[in-house]
Chain A
C-alpha cells in the first residue's frame, strides 16, 4: 500500500503514468500489493524514488557493458586524470576535478579502471545520481568523493543496510555471502549486487545473472571439500531516497 501524507493512493491512476512493464510500473505494483505501508510526503517524493531506482538499474547495466576490470584492491587502477589511487587501493577525487566528470569518466574510459565489487556498487550509485541530478547540484552534494568499498561514503548518499525488508525492489543492493571462501581468494568472500528485475542481479566480476548462478559462481571459489554453500542475505541497501528527493526538488525551486 502507498500513502502520500494521509491518503491511500489509487493504484490505477499511478501505474498509468508509466509505460506497462517499465521498471517504474513494476515497482509501483510491488508497493501497491505489499502488506507494508510505503509512506511518502508527496507524489514528487515517490516519483523521485522511482526515477532514481530506474537510474540505478540503468547505471548497473551500463557498468556491466563497460570494460571496467575486476581487480583486487591491491591491484586496483583508475584514470589519474581524474582520480588519485590511494595506498589502500581506493580512488580519491583529484583536486580541481568536477566530481560529475570524474564519475562519468569511469564509464567513458572504463578500460582505465579496475576494482572490486563493493566499490563498483558505490560507483553505480554515483552514476545513477549523475544521470538524474542537475550537474551543479550533484557537484555541490558530492564535492569530495572517495571510492573505497563501503567506507568513506558521502553522507548525502545516506546508504543504509536494512537487515530485512518487506519487499525487494529493483535498485536494491543485495549481498551474497560465501562463508567458506578459499582463503587465498578473499575477494570472493561475497558478492555485492544490485537487484535489477525479473530475478536478475548485477555483480561486478560475475555479470548479470540469476541468484542461483551467482551462488554457483561463488561456490566454485570455496575452500576444497567445503559443502557450505554461498547464500543471499536478507538485507537490502538503499540510499536515502527522501533526503535526495528533497535536495533535488529544493534545488529545482531555487
Chain B
C-alpha cells in the first residue's frame, strides 16, 4: 500500500504521522494526534479533563468523522458521564456495543456494516494493542467477510494476517475470515507474497497456496511466484473453495480444481 493511499484514507500510524505534510496533519482528529504523539494514557487523561472543563469540545472531538477506532477503543469504555454517552454519534454508540460484545440487533444492517468497516480500516494499524482490541478487530473482520461477503476488506485482513504471523500472534480466525470471502484476485495477491523479502511471508503464502501443484520450496521465490501466477491464470474458472480450515485439519487445502468443470472445458 502506498503512502498516498494511507493519506487519502486518513489511516495513520505514528511513522506516517511524523512524515506527513502539515496540510494533511491538520485533518487528523486531535484525539488521534494526542494518542499517536503521547500515548494511550495521555489521551485518556486529556479526554477526561475535557469532559470536566469543556464537555462540548470533548463531544465534538470524539464524534469527529476522522477519529480512528483505536482512540475510541481506549477512551470509550471509560466514559461514565451520561451526557457524553447520550451525545455520542451513532458510529461511536454502535462501536461501543461491538466492543462490549452486545448482540448485533440494535442497529440496521447498513449501520453495522459502516461501523465494522470503520473499526477495521481505521483500527488495523494498531493491531496488537492488547488481546481485547485484537479480538474486536477479528470480530469485525469475520462479520464483514462471512455476513457481508465484503471482499474490499480482504487486503486489510491479509495485511493483518501476515503482520501477525511475523510476530507469532494468533491468526486463525482472521485466516478463516479471509478465505470465507476470498476470490481469485485475492489468491493472486497472496501469490505476490511468495517473492517477499521476508521469509515468514513466503512461508505463510506457500501454506495458503499449497493447492498449486508447481509450488516447490526448492525453487527460488521468483520462480515460485511465476509458476503460481501462471497456474492461477490457467485454472481461474476451475477453482472452488473447499472450506477446509486450520481448526479442522493439519494442512488445509483451501482451494481445489473442479474436476467436473475441467471435464466440461475439454
Interface residues of B, Cβ cutoff 8 Å to A: 101, 104, 131, 134-135, 138-139, 142-143, 146-147, 167-173, 176, 243, 245-251
Asked if A33 lies at the interface with its beta carbon under 8 angstroms from chain B, I say no
- A sample of 14 more A-B contacts (CB under 8 A), given A88-B172, A184-B143, is A73-B172, A74-B135, A88-B168, A118-B247, A149-B247, A150-B251, A159-B250, A160-B250, A186-B138, A186-B173, A186-B176, A223-B147, A233-B248, A235-B249
| Secondary structure call for the B interface | loop
Greatest chain B CB density within 10 A among A160, A179, A186 is at A186
CB of A170 within 8 Å of the partner chain: no
Q: How far is the CB of B118 from chain A (nearest CB, A)?
A: 18
Q: Is B170 a contact of A153 with CB atoms below 8 Å?
A: no
A88 and B170 form a contact (CB under 8 A): yes
In the complex, what residues of A have CB within 8 A of residue B142's CB? 183-184, 186
Q: State whether the Cβ of A99 lies closer than 8 Å to any Cβ in chain B.
A: no
Question: Beyond A161-B250, A186-B142, is A149–B131 a contact (Cβ under 8 Å)?
Answer: no
Supply 5 A–B pairs (Cβ within 8 Å), ascending by A. Answer: A87-B169, A89-B170, A175-B249, A184-B101, A192-B247
Provide the bound-state CA to CA distance between A75 and B138, in Å: 14
- The listed residue (A88, A150, A233) touching B250 by CB distance below 8 A is A150
Min CB–CB distance A188 → chain B (angstroms) = 10
- A contact residues, range: 20 to 34
Q: Which residue on A lies nearest to B132, using beta carbons? A: A74
Q: Does A151 contact B (CB under 8 A)?
A: yes
Give the 10 A-B residue pairs with the shortest CB-CB distance, closest first.
A150-B250, A88-B170, A183-B142, A161-B249, A183-B146, A183-B143, A186-B173, A87-B168, A87-B169, A118-B247
Assembled-state Cα–Cα distance A164/B117 (Å)? 40
A87-B169, A186-B173 are known contacts. Are A74 and B249 too (CB-CB below 8 A)?
Answer: no
Rounded to whole angstroms, the CA-CA distance of A149 and B146 in the bound complex is 22
> Cβ of A86 < 8 Å from any Cβ of B?
yes
Contact: A74 with B170, CB < 8 Å? yes
Closest to B246 in A: A149
Query: Nearest chain B CB to A154's CB is how many angstroms away?
Result: 12
Chain B residues near A184: list those with CB within 8 A. 101, 104, 139, 142-143
- Give A118 to B146 CA distance when docked, in angstroms: 22
Contact: B248 with A73, CB < 8 Å?
no
Contacts of B247 in A (CB 8 A): 116-118, 149-150, 187, 189-190, 192
Contact residues in A for B167 (Cβ distance below 8 Å): 87
Residue pairs across A and B with CB atoms within 8 Å: the count is 74
Q: How far is the CB of A210 from chain B (nearest CB, A)?
A: 21
In this assembly, does A61 line the interface, its C-beta being within 8 Å of a C-beta of chain B?
Answer: no
- Per the 8 Å Cβ criterion, residues 177-213 of A in contact with B are 177, 179, 183-184, 186-187, 189-190, 192
Docked pose: A183 CA to B169 CA in angstroms: 20
Residues on B with C-beta less than 8 A from A153 are 250
Are A87 and B170 interface neighbours, CB within 8 A?
yes
Q: B171 contacts A88, CB within 8 Å? A: yes
C-alpha spacing A89/B245, complex, angstroms: 17
State the Cβ distance, A67 to closest chain B Cβ, in Å: 23
CB contacts under 8 Å to B, within A145-177, are 149-151, 153, 159-161, 175, 177
Nearest CB on A from B126, distance (A): 16
Which A-chain residue is minimally distant from B164 (CB atoms)? A88
Which chain B residue shows the least CB distance to A151?
B246
List of A residues within 8 angstroms of B243 by Cβ: 177, 179
Most chain A CB within a 10 A radius of its CB, from B101, B134, B250? B250
A195 to chain B, nearest CB (A): 16
Instruction: Using known A-B contacts A73-B172, A89-B170, A149-B172, determine if residue A183 contacts B147 with beta carbons closer than 8 Å.
Output: yes
Chain A contacts of B146 at CB under 8 A? 183, 223
A161 (CB) vs chain B CBs: closest residue: B249
- CB neighbours (8 Å) of A118 from chain B are 246-248
Chain B residues near A177: list those with CB within 8 A. Answer: 243, 248
Measured between beta carbons, the chain A residues less than 8 angstroms from B170 are 73-74, 87-89
Rounded to whole Å, the gap between the CB of B158 and the closest CB of chain A is 18
A183 touches B172 (CB 8 A): no
Q: Which residue of A lies closest to B131 (CB)?
A: A74
> In whole Å, how far is A171's beta carbon from the nearest beta carbon of chain B?
17
A179–B248 Cα distance when bound, in Å, is 12
B106 to chain A, nearest CB (A): 14
Give Cα distance in the complex from A223 to B215, angstroms.
Answer: 37
- Among candidates B101, B104, B169, B248, residue contacting A175 with C-beta atoms closer than 8 Å: B248
CA distance A149 to B250 in the complex (A): 8
Q: Which residues of A contact B169 (CB under 8 A)?
A: 87-88
